[in-house]
Structure 1
Amino acid sequence: MNKCFSVAPILFLWFTFSHTSATHAASNDLPSLGDATSGFISLQQEKALGNSWLRSLRRQVKTFHDPLTYNYLTSLVSRLAPNSELTDRDLNLVIVDSPVMNAFAVPGGVMGINAGLFIHSSSEQEFASVVAHEIAHLSQRHYARSLERQQKTAPLALAGLLASVIIAATTNTDAGIAALASTQALSIQSQLSYSRQNEQEADRIGIQTLYDSNMDPKAMPSMFERMLREARLYGNRPPEYLSTHPVTESRVADSRNRAEQYPVKAYSEDLEFHLIRSRIMLHFSESAESAIRHFKSTIDEGNTFNKTASQYGLAIAYNKAGKPEKAEEIIDALLIRNPNRIIFMIAKAEAMAKKGEIDNSIALLKKHLKRNPGNYAITWELSKQVAKRGNINDLGESESLLLSLTRNHPNEPKIWYTLAEINGEAGNIVQLHRSRAEFFYLIGEIDDALLQLQQALKKSQGNTQVTATIQQRIDDLYKAKKGINF
């Protein structure tokens, strides 16, 4: 791994968008920044821009689909957002499958992290400080405010900045820094002081959000200090102008002074963060065997949370290595202390399935789904286990489970991709094409999505209600195709 990106300070990327785009091409008069309908760029326009940007990101970067991790991140955001200044809390969360430490917030309520942020955060408090900072940027609409300020330089390439994120996430090389420099160099120098002002504001609001959410405000300067220490250790600290969110000694000191103003108190850690962190560590391990060695060596280190997280990590590493009996033995011990913790229960179900006990695994998952209706992680695992049995009734049940997930998580490509596979096995050809269409749309391949919908339309002739629904979706996608695309 290239040392620059493995330890570089988080690149919080805010993007410039040309006022000569289709959204504003009809007018030379730039409106003043205002409410949701009258600003230089409205909230509705931001939402469209963010959705288009996210589709492009998914097309070019592998995202991390793990319902347990997503559930945890959603829960944390739900804890922080009500205590922030965010008015529109309909956020679209994405996790990038990269060990690089990174996070970003994009206009329109898109917020993302690299999975590696879990590894680089030593505690839930530090991790939450990054999320709170991102929420603060969204709440203050720093993107739209920067557009209003830099109307003359706005045509700098949004696509180029997107490419920088992609290069950084996929190659871990200096090419990401170079691309970022080439697209931003002209504008960053002229707006750096404004960028620092955004940072101070986001730090201040983020720290307040942490405190109001009963989380440690001192975690933010602690996280900044960690970034600086790691950057110095590896001797590769990028110049400030390469990041719209530079981490400097003065910024650390300022955030420390702000955090010190809050009362000293004890803050509790959520065990779930540390368990998810173990999942991420296994995911990025060189092999299951190397992960087993790591978790064995750390079981007796640190506090109870760390020990439990290492035991859990060892269990799922054993399962990945094809040793489900050893995995189940550890998980059973963990379940004695935490009988209803979903992450442990799913690990047991996975171990049972690996041992060939599919029926018992399914029974366990159904029991807990009844206790936790609609739970993303349980429903996802159950749909996989039921489909493994392969008969037509089980395929129909798996279809039904996945369809229920699409209603609550309509913007997750992996669900639609898997649903399409099950549709095909079940012989549901019209729904196969419709599911494929949604998958292609969500990864920015709109032409392929339209082709799938046309196939679905042909095969659904005679069913007036279905054809009308498909035709409406075709119209929606044509509108999206004419909008902002990268």
Structure 2
Amino acid sequence: MPRRITSRLAAGALSLALVLPAAGQWTEPGWESDAGLPSLSSHDSRAAAGEEFRLGRAWLRQFRARAPQWQDPIAQAYVESLLARLQPHSGLGGRDLIVTLVDSQRLNAFAVPGGVVGINAGLFAFAGEEAGLVSVLAHELGHLAQRHYARGQARAEQTQLPTMAAMLAGMLIAAAGGGDAGIGVAMGSQAAFIQDQLAYSRRYEQEADRLGLRAMAQAGYDPDAMVRMFRAMQRMASLQGGSPPEFLLTHPLTESRLSDIQSRAGQVTVPSPREEDLQYHLIRARALLSIHDRDPSQAVTRLAQDQPPAQARRYLDALIEARRGEVDTALQRLDALARESPDLTLLPASAAQVAFDAGRYDDAIARSRRVLRLVPGHLPSSLVLGEALLQRDPDEAWRVLRDLAERRPEDPQVFTLLAEAAGHSGREAWGHLARAEQLQLNGRITEAIRQLGVARQVAEREGDTAAAARIEQRREAFIGYRETLEKF
């Protein structure tokens, strides 16, 4: 890749890192939020961690603009629950994590400073057991906990963030589909500063392995699953010859590293072992259906290869039936599964989504509300409820989605729906503001600034002083993004 393009990507990461929105940024007066910056021991560490946070959030915005997103709130909620289970044991403390799901069949996962964790749909397809997926997530959290991006070999503090920005630019290209070219940028950028490092050094990989083993064991997962998962990747790399899984390009896997993992896994005890979770197999069915969207029969075949629970096969059949227009049959199947496994919120939430997709809005509203009475704040059900209410009661949709946006200020999908709800409920200025926030979350800053201009005109015309004040605050921040970018 030409040097100037790499420089622009790195510069973009740095420029957008300078001014990022705080939680609850767009909200009406009276809404409160917390920036959620990580807390570290020393002043210098806190400052560096703050820079990592902003840089990671900026990277995520650029990534969303370039990579295909797997828009599946049910899978999103599941992955977030896994991370919440691992985080107390990972050394990350209460740091906020953001999950981004990638619509790609490639076997990959990544973690970026600032608490960004990315997972390809292909990782679910590859991992036949939940503990295998968990082992990869635990390993990535180990990298974040040890701040491997920012650490260098006795380098001055001012060199660390430029190195990290340049490497993240390469990761952006790779994760968005650039493959070896992006990895080359990442490696080359690091090598200019740290001669003996790959994308991660072997020492850093070992640290992440050991932290990951401990975290997954304390969370109740079999640590040997990490051995099984990585050996399966190694076999895949051997079969593919010069095209190993993307995950291995940034996480060098050697026999000595595998031996170390196996040795340490045998020494780790699991205080409270977890049973195999049916939920994982249901999410895996969703991932396979996303990957084989044009030929669902392939999803059925691949799921069956790993002999999943019968409920997972029935669940996948229901999703396929819904796509074929056999909605009554699909709902009956999902309702039967929900009666068999009443603790799995995923099942009634899936039924609500099927009802909504079929245009059965009243049924979708009723089903979503039943879930939310049992599990307040449930993401997939809140989204379905808000979107279905747009067809029946835009004012109520606005209230539901506004509350969801307060809890999830980094979720572009929420702001997309919120903009629509605001427009349908007569809150035109707030609608344009929500649309602007959705644009900037997806890395489209120039369009976002234009949208803020429209929002300001509408607010002035309507005499909405609260909206006008918030729009002006956001306009100053958005211009700061653009001006800093132009300096590079």
Query: TM-score scaled to structure 2, two decimals?
Result: 0.82
Matched, 1:322 2:321: no
Matched, 1:277 2:284: yes
Partner SS, residue 390 of structure 2: helix
The answer as to whether partners of 1:96 and 1:113 remain within 8 angstroms in 2 is: yes
Number of residue equivalences: 451
In the alignment, which residue of structure 2 is the partner of 1:418? 417
Deviation at 1:232?
0.7
- Structure 1 segment 264-303 matched on structure 2, within 5 A: 267-287=274-294, 290-292=295-297, 294-295=299-300
Paired with 1:399 and 1:188, the residues of 2 have a C-alpha distance of 51
Paired with 1:358 and 1:48, the residues of 2 have a C-alpha distance of 40
In the alignment, which residue of structure 2 is the partner of 1:26? none
The answer as to whether partners of 1:210 and 1:217 remain within 8 angstroms in 2 is: yes
Deviation at 1:133?
0.9
Deviation at 1:253?
0.8
Supply the AA of the counterpart residue of 2:382. Answer: T
Paired with 1:169 and 1:313, the residues of 2 have a C-alpha distance of 28
Matched, 1:56 2:62: yes
The answer as to whether partners of 2:153 and 2:194 remain within 8 angstroms in 1 is: no
Paired with 1:40 and 1:264, the residues of 2 have a C-alpha distance of 33
In the alignment, which residue of structure 2 is the partner of 1:383? 386
- Cα deviation code 1:260-301 (max 9, x no counterpart): 1124785412211111111111111142xx3246537966x7
Deviation at 1:147?
7.4
Partner SS, residue 93 of structure 1: strand
Supply the AA of the counterpart residue of 1:253. Answer: S
Closer, same or farther: CA 396–340 of 1 in aligned 2, 3 Å: farther
Closer, same or farther: CA 352–106 of 1 in aligned 2, 3 Å: closer
Partner SS, residue 407 of structure 1: helix
Deviation at 1:167?
4.7
The answer as to whether partners of 1:240 and 1:246 remain within 8 angstroms in 2 is: no
- Structure 1 segment 393-472 matched on structure 2, within 5 A: 394-461=393-460, 462-472=463-473
Closer, same or farther: CA 148–55 of 1 in aligned 2, 3 Å: farther
Supply the AA of the counterpart residue of 1:476. Answer: A
- Cα deviation code 1:61-93 (max 9, x no counterpart): 122222111111111111111112113421122
Paired with 2:297 and 2:150, the residues of 1 have a C-alpha distance of 48
Matched, 1:137 2:108: no
Match of 2:348 among 341, 345, 348: 345
Supply the AA of the counterpart residue of 2:335. Answer: D
Partner SS, residue 322 of structure 1: coil
Matched, 1:225 2:226: no
The answer as to whether partners of 1:285 and 1:291 remain within 8 angstroms in 2 is: yes
Partner SS, residue 247 of structure 1: coil
Paired with 1:179 and 1:427, the residues of 2 have a C-alpha distance of 48
Paired with 2:390 and 2:112, the residues of 1 have a C-alpha distance of 37
Supply the AA of the counterpart residue of 1:278. Answer: A
What is the aligned-residue identity percentage?
Answer: 37
Partner SS, residue 94 of structure 1: strand
Unmatched 5+ stretches in structure 1: 1-15, 24-33
The answer as to whether partners of 1:156 and 1:184 remain within 8 angstroms in 2 is: yes
The answer as to whether partners of 1:126 and 1:219 remain within 8 angstroms in 2 is: yes
Paired with 1:190 and 1:62, the residues of 2 have a C-alpha distance of 33
Partner SS, residue 331 of structure 1: helix
Closer, same or farther: CA 359–116 of 1 in aligned 2, 3 Å: same
The answer as to whether partners of 1:76 and 1:128 remain within 8 angstroms in 2 is: yes
Matched, 1:313 2:320: no
Query: TM-score scaled to structure 1, two decimals?
Result: 0.82
Supply the AA of the counterpart residue of 1:275. Answer: L
- Structure 1 segment 37-116 matched on structure 2, within 5 A: 37-39=43-45, 42-116=48-122
Deviation at 1:190?
2.6
After TM superposition, the structure 1 stretch with the greater mean CA deviation from structure 2, 75-84 or 321-330, is: 321-330
- Cα deviation code 1:31-64 (max 9, x no counterpart): xxx9453149611111111111111111111222
Paired with 1:294 and 1:307, the residues of 2 have a C-alpha distance of 15
After TM superposition, the structure 1 stretch with the greater mean CA deviation from structure 2, 208-217 or 321-330, is: 321-330
Partner SS, residue 82 of structure 2: helix
In the alignment, which residue of structure 2 is the partner of 1:12? none
Paired with 2:427 and 2:120, the residues of 1 have a C-alpha distance of 36
Closer, same or farther: CA 354–46 of 1 in aligned 2, 3 Å: closer
The answer as to whether partners of 2:109 and 2:247 remain within 8 angstroms in 1 is: no
Partner SS, residue 151 of structure 2: helix
Matched, 1:249 2:255: yes
- Cα deviation code 1:212-245 (max 9, x no counterpart): 1111111112111011011111222559999442
The answer as to whether partners of 1:137 and 1:202 remain within 8 angstroms in 2 is: yes
Paired with 1:194 and 1:311, the residues of 2 have a C-alpha distance of 42
Deviation at 1:131?
0.9
The answer as to whether partners of 1:423 and 1:431 remain within 8 angstroms in 2 is: yes
In the alignment, which residue of structure 2 is the partner of 1:10? none
Paired with 1:239 and 1:149, the residues of 2 have a C-alpha distance of 32
Paired with 1:188 and 1:358, the residues of 2 have a C-alpha distance of 57
Partner SS, residue 104 of structure 1: strand
Paired with 1:316 and 1:240, the residues of 2 have a C-alpha distance of 29
Deviation at 1:105?
1.4
Deviation at 1:170?
3.4
Paired with 2:45 and 2:357, the residues of 1 have a C-alpha distance of 56
Paired with 2:359 and 2:369, the residues of 1 have a C-alpha distance of 17
Paired with 2:158 and 2:406, the residues of 1 have a C-alpha distance of 42
In the alignment, which residue of structure 1 is the partner of 2:4? none
Matched, 1:474 2:475: yes
Paired with 1:193 and 1:426, the residues of 2 have a C-alpha distance of 49
Partner SS, residue 201 of structure 2: helix
Closer, same or farther: CA 206–482 of 1 in aligned 2, 3 Å: farther
- Structure 1 segment 6-25 matched on structure 2, within 5 A: none
Paired with 1:408 and 1:372, the residues of 2 have a C-alpha distance of 15
Matched, 1:212 2:241: no
Closer, same or farther: CA 466–286 of 1 in aligned 2, 3 Å: closer
Paired with 1:346 and 1:130, the residues of 2 have a C-alpha distance of 27
Paired with 2:177 and 2:10, the residues of 1 have a C-alpha distance of 24
